[in-house]
Chain A
């Protein structure tokens, strides 16, 4: 139990935990102090935006409440006239260097800057004058950076450095010329950025956003192709949030209905190819494990993670499974097996994936995923946020959609094992369910692998598969993955099989998921920032629990795919369609000039 202190806000006494900042303490007393740079409460070290100023009796001048700890007997005023004016001026000054194309800004309606500006009563044209020179970087397929909208809060810098342990972004130059940018104000494509998009999740404005590709989808519809799509597991855990539903709402059935109404010819569930990934990955693991291959083996589903290991630890690439990600596997199967069954020419198929991820936009363009005829496995990857835009644009009212199923022909069946791919630990759990069967011919009981669930930095377990000990570890976020990679490098790694996901918490917290800005979610709990990942994860675990089939190898469509087409896991055709290679020669800072 933390020590309590008494503080006074507008002369009302409150008991609060000692050690809190004024901002946090005020929140626990039912106040909301507007702020922009603060996003991780106590861990936030910036105090750069100067929006959260309050009056503290006895202090010299106004104090930034995000960086000032409460003390016993402290008298605080938020409504103080000077503080109110100062907060308004701070925001007005930020607005004076901001580009006002709000109507066309994709952040419109989700912009914290506008929200705060309204709260403090800022007048946008109060200060007008010269503006800092703008950089617009849209060279990467994943993320767009527009400095004309940046307010220099530094949240993205913190997210990249502290959450991912990478630190691509920093403050550059001084005074009026200051910008937030990668080294030398380079494009994200010319620095070792893994394109995970975690920076886009924290940007309060439209300065960092996903690279919007809806126009390309429109072109495909116009071209009269067979436009088919599939949606990743994590999308269902969050898409309803785009339409005002509470975090933790399952959107699976409305998602299927919405995609159909947007105009896709076929709407599939990516769980199918997650099941397929498990068949190949479990097979690969058993091969390596029993025949002395490169160990530990590491999963390969997350394209942000693949970027990370290619850029920072290329010498460890032989540890990574050669399996393509579920997204790429689905594309490859749709343009081969499925096309044959349907009597379609693969050139006429346009495959769209809906994913919670910005790095997947990069992944679809990788040269490894273009076949000898110049055809990509997947043509377009759109994030959960873009899907929200697409649905709104089509005039669809989410809450009045009927509940429908994804298409169930040829590549439609899927299992609970596929669903949990969307959360950290899920791939491992699904792989173990199937590997157990491949090794012993029996089913693992109980089916749930509880030690790998949760959000601790590294979760580990030793499995006893009929006397064979298999040591597994699960992690997410690059700051944690780096530690496991260092162990492998030193030769001190204790594991046989490691799951790594690029984003902290896995795909449910992917860089393309709906924003979670607590100040703009009045109907959520005050601690939503700490609980939203668990709430989204619960959606997936619940769906897994309720599926009639929960093991990938029991999926009838997968069985049929192997019987009719691929042969068996690891066959020559499976190698060609479902496995890939990596690039160990990516330069961190390719010379631009």
Chain B
């Protein structure tokens, strides 16, 4: 196990926070996700050790819920809405295009750690379908031709 002692301490503190809960696993994982931005195996091992829940079971929960991730997310998290309205308006093509440009699949992060791509369910913005959100900022009626420009916006921000 190769976990920094401070990180280990943090995990144990989080576990301790929920020691009186009848089933604390989700709460612990949720706090760990917020704390570290992801839940690597090393963290799962510490949780397992402290709670007695087998690592395989924790791993199962982490891989079941979209909210938990095993890898750190990118600096900019792109969410392409694949709800019914956006899908009908061609959001799948938008997602494919972004994936092609960034060379990643939905759920993955670029090697430089700048972008993550997620296909998300309805953003509640069906009127502006297809919608894409990047770190909370929503882009309406995204055309394939716009995609590269939108990404450039963030690339330039980094260079500046």
Asked if residues B63 and A174 are in contact (CB atoms below 8 Å), the reply is yes
- Check B41 for interface membership: any CB of A closer than 8 A: yes
Chain B residue contacts of A182, Cβ below 8 A: 56
Asked if residues A170 and B60 are in contact (CB atoms below 8 Å), the reply is yes
1/0 contact trace for A566-593 toward B, CB 8 Å?
A: 0000000000000000000001110100
What is the CB-to-nearest-CB distance from A290 to chain B, in angstroms, rounded to a whole number? 38
In angstroms, Cα B54 to Cα A167, docked, is 5
- Check A194 for interface membership: any CB of B closer than 8 A: no
1/0 contact trace for A181-222 toward B, CB 8 Å?
A: 111100000010000000000000000000000000000000
- Check B45 for interface membership: any CB of A closer than 8 A: yes
Closest to B48 in A: A167
Interface of B is mostly: helix
- Check A171 for interface membership: any CB of B closer than 8 A: yes
In angstroms, Cα B59 to Cα A182, docked, is 9
Asked if residues B41 and A170 are in contact (CB atoms below 8 Å), the reply is no
Of the candidates A166, A170, A174, A588, the one having the most CB atoms from chain B within 10 angstroms of its own CB is A170
- CB-CB contacts below 8 Å: A158-173 with B: 161, 166-173
In angstroms, Cα B55 to Cα A170, docked, is 9
- B60 contact from A166, A172, A588, A589, Cβ within 8 A: A172
- Check B82 for interface membership: any CB of A closer than 8 A: no
Asked if residues A172 and B59 are in contact (CB atoms below 8 Å), the reply is yes
- CB-CB contacts below 8 Å: B19-56 with A: 41, 44-45, 53-56
In angstroms, Cα B2 to Cα A161, docked, is 26
In angstroms, Cα B45 to Cα A587, docked, is 12
- A169 contact from B41, B44, B56, Cβ within 8 A: B56
Of the candidates B53, B56, B57, the one having the most CB atoms from chain A within 10 angstroms of its own CB is B56
Chain A residue contacts of B101, Cβ below 8 A: none
What is the CB-to-nearest-CB distance from A71 to chain B, in angstroms, rounded to a whole number? 27
- A184 contact from B1, B2, B57, B59, Cβ within 8 A: B59
Chain A residue contacts of B67, Cβ below 8 A: none
If A168-B54, A588-B45 touch, does A174 touch B64 (CB 8 Å cutoff)? Answer: yes
- A166 contact from B45, B53, B54, Cβ within 8 A: B54
Asked if residues B64 and A183 are in contact (CB atoms below 8 Å), the reply is no
What is the CB-to-nearest-CB distance from B115 to chain A, in angstroms, rounded to a whole number? 23
What is the CB-to-nearest-CB distance from B57 to chain A, in angstroms, rounded to a whole number? 5
Closest to B2 in A: A591
Asked if residues B54 and A170 are in contact (CB atoms below 8 Å), the reply is yes
Chain B residue contacts of A191, Cβ below 8 A: 55-56
Task: Count residues on chain B whose CB falls below 8 Å from chain A CBs.
Answer: 14
Chain B residue contacts of A591, Cβ below 8 A: 2
What is the CB-to-nearest-CB distance from A548 to chain B, in angstroms, rounded to a whole number? 48
What is the CB-to-nearest-CB distance from A4 to chain B, in angstroms, rounded to a whole number? 34
Asked if residues B64 and A170 are in contact (CB atoms below 8 Å), the reply is no
Chain B residue contacts of A587, Cβ below 8 A: 1
Asked if residues B59 and A167 are in contact (CB atoms below 8 Å), the reply is no
In angstroms, Cα B6 to Cα A571, docked, is 51
In angstroms, Cα B53 to Cα A108, docked, is 35
In angstroms, Cα B41 to Cα A580, docked, is 34
If A184-B41, A588-B45 touch, does A171 touch B60 (CB 8 Å cutoff)? Answer: yes
1/0 contact trace for B103-140 toward A, CB 8 Å?
A: 00000000000000000000000000000000000000
1/0 contact trace for A251-272 toward B, CB 8 Å?
A: 0000000000000000000000
Chain A residue contacts of B59, Cβ below 8 A: 170, 172, 183-184
In angstroms, Cα B10 to Cα A327, docked, is 47
In angstroms, Cα B59 to Cα A191, docked, is 13
1/0 contact trace for B59-70 toward A, CB 8 Å?
A: 110011000000
- CB-CB contacts below 8 Å: B57-103 with A: 57, 59-60, 63-64
Asked if residues A173 and B64 are in contact (CB atoms below 8 Å), the reply is yes
Chain B residue contacts of A161, Cβ below 8 A: 54, 57
Asked if residues A589 and B54 are in contact (CB atoms below 8 Å), the reply is no
Chain B residue contacts of A172, Cβ below 8 A: 56, 59-60, 63
Closest to B42 in A: A589
In angstroms, Cα B55 to Cα A311, docked, is 14
Closest to A177 in B: B63
In angstroms, Cα B56 to Cα A589, docked, is 12
What is the CB-to-nearest-CB distance from B105 to chain A, in angstroms, rounded to a whole number? 13
Closest to A193 in B: B56
If A183-B44, A589-B41, A589-B45 touch, does A170 touch B56 (CB 8 Å cutoff)? Answer: yes
Closest to B53 in A: A167
Asked if residues A167 and B45 are in contact (CB atoms below 8 Å), the reply is no
In angstroms, Cα B59 to Cα A88, docked, is 33
Chain A residue contacts of B45, Cβ below 8 A: 588-589
Chain B residue contacts of A166, Cβ below 8 A: 54
What is the CB-to-nearest-CB distance from B123 to chain A, in angstroms, rounded to a whole number? 21
What is the CB-to-nearest-CB distance from A180 to chain B, in angstroms, rounded to a whole number? 9
Chain A residue contacts of B1, Cβ below 8 A: 587-589
Chain A residue contacts of B55, Cβ below 8 A: 167, 183, 191, 589
Closest to B59 in A: A183
In angstroms, Cα B44 to Cα A191, docked, is 13
The 9 closest A-B pairs by CB, nearest first: A167-B54, A170-B56, A170-B60, A183-B59, A170-B57, A171-B60, A173-B63, A183-B55, A183-B56
A-B contact pairs, 6 of them (CB 8 A): A167-B55, A168-B54, A168-B56, A171-B60, A587-B1, A589-B45
Given A170-B56, A589-B55, 15 additional A-B pairs, CB 8 A: A161-B54, A167-B56, A167-B57, A170-B54, A170-B59, A170-B60, A171-B64, A172-B63, A183-B44, A183-B55, A183-B56, A184-B41, A191-B55, A589-B41, A589-B45
